[in-house]
Structure 1
Amino acid sequence: MTQKNNYLVPMLVMALIFFMLGYITWTNGPLIPYLKIVCNLETDVQAFFVTSAFYFSYFIMALPSASLLEKIGFKNGIIAGLIVAALGSLLFIPAANSRMYGLFLTALFMQGSGLALLQTAVNPYLSILGPIERAAQRISIVGIANKAAGIVAPVLVGGIILKGAGDLENKLMVITDPKERDVILSEMASRIQTPYVALAIVLIIVAVLIFFSTLPEIQAEEEATSVQNQKKSVFGFPNLILGVIAIVCYVGAEVIAGDGIGQYGKNIGISLDDAKHFTSYTMAAMLVGYVVGIIAIPRFIKQEDALKYSAIIGIIFCLIVIFTEGYTSILFIALLGLANALMWPAIFPLSINGLGSFTKVGGAMLIMGIAPGGGLLPLLYASLGGETNPQRGFWVVIICYVYILYYALVGYKKKSW
């Protein structure tokens, strides 16, 4: 792979991008209970369409993003992604004014489209910026910025849009006058405008800064071996195809633990005023996991072994969630962030290792895996668990970790079908 002697500027730019990715992504956590109230949604499944709209944009836009990157390069692709995400953020203004759930979902889809372009650019860029065996370490370094944003976003945005939400819910239960309900809900809906307008402004500023930065373009090397040169299609790489499934499982587990923990807390009787901060606890655990990865990979542990142990820890923590109650279960959902932290940094480079000229398309396919992971698995979790038996939904997460364990043991090694 192409190596650069000076990684400082690219790594700083990537850290900035990962911060924005994390901030936008993890505002979805407080949005789930918020939109359930504001849009008068009846079930958790309806509320979790927040994640579906956001993550399915990755599936639809990933391959077009890869094609665009081939034409305009990594740097311009990152700038374009930031601008699209900013436009999606501004769409929250009419969504809040109308309180139309479909318009909120459209805004989330547009945000996700911008992030799909960013993800398709930055992850392969980081993987081929230096030696592939240290890729998980590089992704972990910038991942600190991502999860730091994941800690800040739920506290900041949740604190604004869900302020006094518990008392407000109780008040709405006893109000019978439709006009009075409408006034209260409209006031609550308007809260979302300021943080999302501010977000749009910041995204545009970051795009301008990157435009004037000295971010170098890098290219993946062509396949080096005769076996690789025989590959006529990206589908000829089992480590990639199996890696896409691993990404699906990882993202599902991460979204359920991160975005779903607040609604889980509400479902087991914890006030929404307290539960709105739970996503930050999961992100804090992930942040710790990234620090471990930076220190340990590859000095003390290989990235594939880190993936294996992470999957085992995830299975154990899920079992504790299922068979305990109250704040104990909340604690271990948050600790799933520790189990999840090194999964993306390990799966991505293991999946694109050896792809050569197929790297951009392979990276796009991995980004596409975000969609069913973030869009479908949380719905399956909500359907199986939900308000009636929230712990039961974590069997879905266990299945995800079992597959990731298979990939860490066997899947990434497969070079032919």
Structure 2
Amino acid sequence: MPAKSSFIPMFIMGTLFFIFGFVTWLNGSLIPFLKIVCELNEFEALFVTFAFYISYTVMALPMAYVLEKTGYKDGMALGLGVMAIGALLFIPAAQSAEFIIFLIALFTLGTGLTILQSASNPYIVYLGPVESAAMRISIMGIINKGAGVLAPIVFSALLFLDVGEQDVMSEASREILAQKLIVPYIVMALILVALIVLIKFSSLESLTIKDDKSNSEKSSIFEFPRLILGAIALFFYVGIEVIAGDTIALYAQSIGVESYSTLTSFTMFFMVLGYIAGIVFIPRYLSQKNALIGSALFGILFLLGVVFSLSTSHLLSEILWGWSGVRTLPDTITFVALLGFANALVWPSIWPLALNGLGKHTPKGSALLIMSIAGGALLPLLFGKIAQLVSSMQTAYLLGIVSYAFILYYAVAGHKISSWKNSDKS
């Protein structure tokens, strides 16, 4: 666990990770919401994830240079300010019900998150021993995904309270529904401004990354195979993470499940369980490498469950939820939610493996890893197009097996490669 001297930085980071989670996992409920308001098909609705996550790729390197100029503290405040602007852009978007304005607002929110992510993830890695970095990131993950559990519930309660979840609405009803976005996003902007004040007056300090003399001859981040392969693994991971979290409501809507808008919370719930496992077992009982191997294997298993379960079967759901009084879900939906458990430890495990030995190249290496979040923009769109072509969202989930296969390769061999020339392993 972090030392007592790290409590204030961990508290501040925890607050930021809560914001990451709340804003990010609103998308799972926003997708079916905008599908109704803007009259979109499934493929068009998934441009919500594209606009949000492509900002990480477009803005990661510029934000890395901003961080070099501002430092972590001022950079985080700047990122929160950009997010506040993005939240306020939802006002004209809701008033006009124009999908393009919603996408611009989402891109702006993602831009603000880019600088926050660029600063916070390496900060957590180097806040203590690298060997226990996955444990610290898991703590942040619980906070992040805990917010992800709350966000769809709060969103649905505020927006669907009076009108209910309807797939078809009159134009007047759609306008009324769109207007309901205004107050929540004004409140979000005010909270973000309050956090700017917290950051500016906090005792948060920048960490000094020690140079690794053994790699002093390397002049580019592209000379580190474990980093490049790690970025590719993160690309596939973020893609399947977003598919699991942001398409579950859309998939449930397509097969006639009621109260579909809160289902992202189920995926986040299982992610929280996975993060708790990471805190308990890493590094005492489980190495970061083995956690990654287990995550990939579980992911493949659960995907097969998604694709080959009957939508009329409820056995798994009854086993998992029957005691709690929660409504029974089709097993195929429950397997989508279980992907959250498989995904939980992938991000915490890849970051320390990919950044290992980068030394002075760490800031640019971190920016490259942040750019890999583009997987969350591109793979869900590919998922949507496959679902459209085969007329089955259930079959389209097979796309995720490619993601887990590469993650498995990186866990077993990719993270060990230290040279492109002869594939030396360290």
TM-score (norm 2): 0.92
The equivalent residue for 2:377 is: 375
Size of the aligned set, in residue pairs, is 400
1:79 partnered with 2:64: no
Contact 1:120 1:367 survives alignment (8 Å): yes
The equivalent residue for 1:290 is: 275
1:304 partnered with 2:293: no
Supply the distance in 1 between the matched residues of 2:333 and 2:120 (Cα, whole angstroms).
32
1:222 partnered with 2:211: yes
Find 1:338's aligned residue among 323, 341, 363.
Answer: 341
Supply the distance in 2 between the matched residues of 1:308 and 1:124 (Cα, whole angstroms).
22
Amino acid at match of 1:374: G
Deviation at 1:159, TM superposition (A): 2.4
Instruction: Note the 1:223-238 alignment, pairs <5 A.
Output: 223-225=212-214, 228-238=215-225
Amino acid at match of 2:267: T
Supply the distance in 1 between the matched residues of 2:136 and 2:208 (Cα, whole angstroms).
17
1:412 partnered with 2:387: no
Secondary structure at the residue paired with 1:215?
coil
Contact 1:4 1:129 survives alignment (8 Å): no
Amino acid at match of 2:75: G
Instruction: Note the 1:192-207 alignment, pairs <5 A.
Output: 192-207=181-196
Supply the distance in 1 between the matched residues of 2:22 and 2:135 (Cα, whole angstroms).
21
1:329 partnered with 2:332: yes
Find 1:259's aligned residue among 225, 246, 254.
Answer: 246
Deviation at 1:164, TM superposition (A): 6.2
Secondary structure at the residue paired with 1:96?
helix
Q: 1:216 to 1:323 in 2, by over 3 A?
A: same
Q: What's the CA shift string for 1:271-326, capped at 9, x where partnerless?
A: 3xx11111000000000111110111000011111011010000000001100022
Instruction: Note the 1:52-71 alignment, pairs <5 A.
Output: 52-71=50-69
Deviation at 1:168, TM superposition (A): 3.7
The equivalent residue for 2:319 is: none
Supply the distance in 1 between the matched residues of 2:140 and 2:234 (Cα, whole angstroms).
19
Q: 1:47 to 1:40 in 2, by over 3 A?
A: same
1:362 partnered with 2:360: no
Amino acid at match of 1:7: S
Deviation at 1:160, TM superposition (A): 2.1
Supply the distance in 2 between the matched residues of 1:244 and 1:319 (Cα, whole angstroms).
26
Supply the distance in 2 between the matched residues of 1:219 and 1:161 (Cα, whole angstroms).
45
Q: What's the CA shift string for 1:19-69, capped at 9, x where partnerless?
A: 00000000001111111111111x211000000000010001100111111
Supply the distance in 1 between the matched residues of 2:292 and 2:112 (Cα, whole angstroms).
28
Amino acid at match of 2:15: L
Amino acid at match of 1:383: K
CA RMSD of aligned residues (A): 1.4
Amino acid at match of 1:159: A
Secondary structure at the residue paired with 2:210?
coil
Supply the distance in 2 between the matched residues of 1:86 and 1:220 (Cα, whole angstroms).
30
Amino acid at match of 1:34: F
Q: 1:385 to 1:223 in 2, by over 3 A?
A: same
Find 1:385's aligned residue among 387, 396, 401.
Answer: 387
Amino acid at match of 1:356: G
Q: Which runs of 5+ in 1 are unaligned?
A: 173-180
Instruction: Note the 1:154-193 alignment, pairs <5 A.
Output: 154-163=152-161, 168-170=166-168, 172=169, 181-193=170-182
Deviation at 1:229, TM superposition (A): 1.5
Secondary structure at the residue paired with 1:376?
helix
Supply the distance in 2 between the matched residues of 1:191 and 1:295 (Cα, whole angstroms).
41
Find 2:202's aligned residue among 202, 213, 220.
Answer: 213
Supply the distance in 2 between the matched residues of 1:53 and 1:244 (Cα, whole angstroms).
20
Q: What's the CA shift string for 1:355-384, capped at 9, x where partnerless?
A: 11110110000000001x111100111111
Deviation at 1:198, TM superposition (A): 0.9
Supply the distance in 2 between the matched residues of 1:149 and 1:157 (Cα, whole angstroms).
12
Supply the distance in 2 between the matched residues of 1:392 and 1:232 (Cα, whole angstroms).
45
Q: What's the CA shift string for 1:66-117, capped at 9, x where partnerless?
A: 1111111111111111110111001000000011100000000000000001
Q: What's the CA shift string for 1:105-157, capped at 9, x where partnerless?
A: 00000000000010001001111111111110110111111011000001101
Supply the distance in 1 between the matched residues of 2:160 and 2:385 (Cα, whole angstroms).
24
Supply the distance in 2 between the matched residues of 1:395 and 1:136 (Cα, whole angstroms).
28
Supply the distance in 2 between the matched residues of 1:167 and 1:125 (Cα, whole angstroms).
41
The equivalent residue for 1:177 is: none
Supply the distance in 2 between the matched residues of 1:4 and 1:220 (Cα, whole angstroms).
18
The equivalent residue for 1:395 is: 398
Contact 1:268 1:390 survives alignment (8 Å): no
Supply the distance in 2 between the matched residues of 1:161 and 1:148 (Cα, whole angstroms).
21
Contact 1:30 1:162 survives alignment (8 Å): no
Find 1:152's aligned residue among 150, 153, 164.
Answer: 150
Deviation at 1:7, TM superposition (A): 1.0
Deviation at 1:161, TM superposition (A): 2.5
Q: 1:410 to 1:359 in 2, by over 3 A?
A: same
Amino acid at match of 2:189: A
